[in-house]
Structure formats: structure tokens, C-alpha cells
């Protein structure tokens, strides 16, 4: 049985992808990693990750294009801010029997792939505290008002940046049917923060997969993972610890943040980005200074004409 990671990336997120793969390969040199191109501009990231980390590109690119186009068209061409996020749904049909999908704005701190051992007893895994923050960025209160889900169901909400499952658990027809259900009721979803795919995949999993498990509910608890959390501390070994459970983090996710100097845990991300290579004296990731007022006014005038 094959087991590995899927990632989505294009050339714009090359540095994030390098940081992620550096962190994975530090403790896990052999687990397969398969790139699902985010768009047509992926040649540099594909070549770089293949040479340095043995990453393979998803073989059937025509299938990815067809699948994502059809999923997008169910809602309409202009409905989603980032429709290419749906390309990750190719995970269900790739070569890996058991897989974890992982966003590139993540670094891992150990063999995170071992989380897939829970797939012996479950069909879908997540590993985050998204549910603790309520339904924002996923659903609207209408899902409770219309009894689409119960309060108990909504405790199964998860972040779309890291999840795991099994090949073939969902079919193409399952995907299309779920998307049609969602398109018929856009009032059920919270797309306000441009989370194109997260509300849809939550709906699909909560409706279609009964045997699901959030790793944070394991015996003894589990650490958080969001870079926006304020309570993490470093121990004397330099590990990032969640004092709520007194356990080291297994991964850190910069969801909702631009990764640049000044962002939370910048030094951690920078460490993994330049692992095994020389760090430049001046960071190329410094945020651009804001445009002067006259330039912003001129830009607005141009848009009017």
C-alpha cells in the first residue's frame, strides 16, 4: 500500500514549497510527495522540488484541468476568488492509496505522515482546532437554522490546509453531487475571507464520511498548529510547545498570514527555507513599502478609465 503527501503549488510559492519540503525531508527522506500544479505556471517549482527533494508531478494533468473546470462551472466562472484551489480534489484519484494533503504555508517538525496510522480505523483525518473557533470561514448560521447540520456535526469542522484520507473514498460523481448541493444553497457558506474550497470540502466530508477523526481528540490531547496562536512557548531544546497539553507541535500553519519578516514565528519559517543553504544577508521577503497617496489616487483614476 502506497502512502504519501499531495501538495499544490505554482512558481509564485516556490520559497514556501522549499521550506515545507526542507522540513519534511529533515526527518522523512523517503515518503513520496506529489505536486498538483496550481496553474500553468509551475515549471520552476516542479523542476526545483524534483531535483532537491524527489517530488513527482501528478501524471494526469488533463484530468486535473477537467476536474477543476467542472467543479468551478457548477458554481459559475466568477463565483470563487480562488477557484484553482479545487485542483487539490485530484488527491482522491491519484496514485497514493493513503494520502495527506498539506498546504505549502506549513512546516512540519517530525514524521507527520505517521498520523496516517489512524486510517486503520477511520476514513478521513484532520488535525487542528478550527472547530474551537466556531463556524466562521466555513458555514453561516443557516446550516443550523435549516437543520443541515447539528451542533454535534459542527464540532467536526476542520481547516483545509492539512487533512488525510484514502484513494477512491469519494468518486467524481460524489464530488459533482456535493458541489451541486452547495451551489443550490450558497447562503449556507461563509466565503467572506476568500476561503474558496474550505467550506465546500467541510460540507462534503461532514455529509458523506461517517468514519472521520480529528487527531486533537486523541487520548492525552494534541498540540495546536496555527501560527496565530499566542500561547506557544519554546522549551530548552528549542522546540515549540503547546503548554495546554505540554506537547511539542507537530506542524505550524501560517493560515491567514503573509509569510514575511514580522509575521508570527518568522524565524522558524526562515530557518526551514534556508536549511542546508546560505541565508542572504538581506531578506528578499521584506514587505513592500506602501505606495504614496498620489500614486494610489492615480491608480484609482486609471481604473475608472
Each of the 305 residues of the chain gets a pLDDT tens digit; together they read: 899 999 999 999 999 999 999 999 999 999 999 999 999 999 999 999 999 999 999 999 999 999 988 988 888 776 776 778 889 999 999 999 999 999 999 999 999 999 999 999 999 999 999 999 889 888 999 999 999 999 999 999 999 999 999 999 999 999 999 999 998 998 998 877 666 788 999 999 999 999 999 999 999 999 999 999 999 999 999 999 999 999 999 999 999 999 999 999 999 999 999 998 988 767 778 776 666 666 666 677 666 65
Whether residue 128 is contained in a domain is answered as: yes
Burial class (CB in 10 A: 0-12, 13-18, 19+), 40: exposed
pLDDT of amino acid 81: 66
Q: Is residue 99 part of a domain?
A: yes
In a domain, 263, yes or no: yes
Grid coordinates representing 110 are 517530525
Contact, 200 vs 178, CB < 8 A?
A: yes
This prediction has a pTM of 0.90
Residue 279 lies in a domain: no
Partnered with residue 4 across adjacent β-strands are: 99
- What residues make up the domain containing 191? 3-273
Considering the domain boundaries, does residue 278 fall inside one? no
- CATH number of domain containing 221: 3.90.550.10
pLDDT value, residue 280: 78
Answer whether residue 154 is part of any domain. yes
Q: What is the pLDDT of residue 38?
A: 96
Name the domain count of the chain.
Answer: 1
Angle at 303 between CA 302 and CA 305, to 5 degrees: 70
Q: Please tell me the predicted confidence (pLDDT) of residue 54.
A: 98
Assess if residue 209 is contained within a domain: yes
Amino acid at each position: 500500500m502506497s502512502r504519501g503527501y499531495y501538495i499544490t503549488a505554482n512558481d509564485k510559492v516556490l520559497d514556501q514549497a522549499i521550506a515545507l519540503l526542507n522540513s519534511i525531508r529533515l526527518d522523512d527522506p523517503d515518503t513520496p510527495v506529489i505536486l498538483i500544479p496550481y496553474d500553468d505556471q509551475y515549471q520552476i517549482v516542479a523542476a526545483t522540488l524534483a531535483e532537491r527533494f524527489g517530488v513527482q508531478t501528478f501524471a494526469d494533468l488533463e484530468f486535473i484541468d477537467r476536474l477543476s473546470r467542472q467543479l468551478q462551472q457548477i458554481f459559475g466562472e466568477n463565483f470563487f476568488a480562488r477557484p484553482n484551489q479545487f485542483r487539490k480534489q485530484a488527491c482522491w484519484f491519484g496514485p497514493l492509496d493513503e494520502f495527506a494533503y498539506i498546504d505549502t504555508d506549513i512546516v512540519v517538525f517530525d514524521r507527520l505522515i505517521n498520523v496516517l496510522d489512524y486510517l486503520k480505523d477511520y476514513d478521513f483525518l484532520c488535525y487542528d482546532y478550527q472547530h474551537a473557533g466556531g463556524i466562521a470561514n466555513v458555514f453561516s448560521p443557516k446550516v443550523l437554522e435549516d437543520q443541515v447540520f447539528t451542533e454535534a456535526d459542527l464540532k467536526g469542522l476542520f481547516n483545509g490546509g492539512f487533512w488525510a484520507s484514502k484513494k477512491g473514498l469519494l468518486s467524481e460523481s460524489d464530488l459533482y453531487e456535493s458541489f451541486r448541493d452547495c451551489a443550490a444553497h450558497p447562503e449556507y457558506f461563509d466565503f467572506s475571507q476568500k476561503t474558496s474550497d474550505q467550506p465546500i470540502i467541510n460540507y462534503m466530508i461532514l455529509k458523506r464520511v461517517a468514519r472521520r477523526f480529528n487527531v486533537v481528540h486523541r487520548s492525552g490531547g494534541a498540540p495546536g498548529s496555527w501560527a496565530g496562536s499566542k500561547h506557544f512557548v519554546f522549551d530548552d531544546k528549542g522546540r515549540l510547545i503547546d503548554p495546554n497539553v505540554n506537547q511539542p507541535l507537530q506542524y505550524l500553519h501560517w493560515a491567514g498570514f503573509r509569510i514575511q519578516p514580522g509575521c508570527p514565528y518568522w524565524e522558524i519559517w526562515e530557518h526551514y527555507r534556508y536549511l542546508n543553504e546560505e541565508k542572504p544577508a538581506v531578506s528578499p521577503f521584506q514587505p513592500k513599502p506602501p505606495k504614496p497617496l498620489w500614486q494610489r489616487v492615480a491608480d484609482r483614476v486609471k481604473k475608472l478609465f
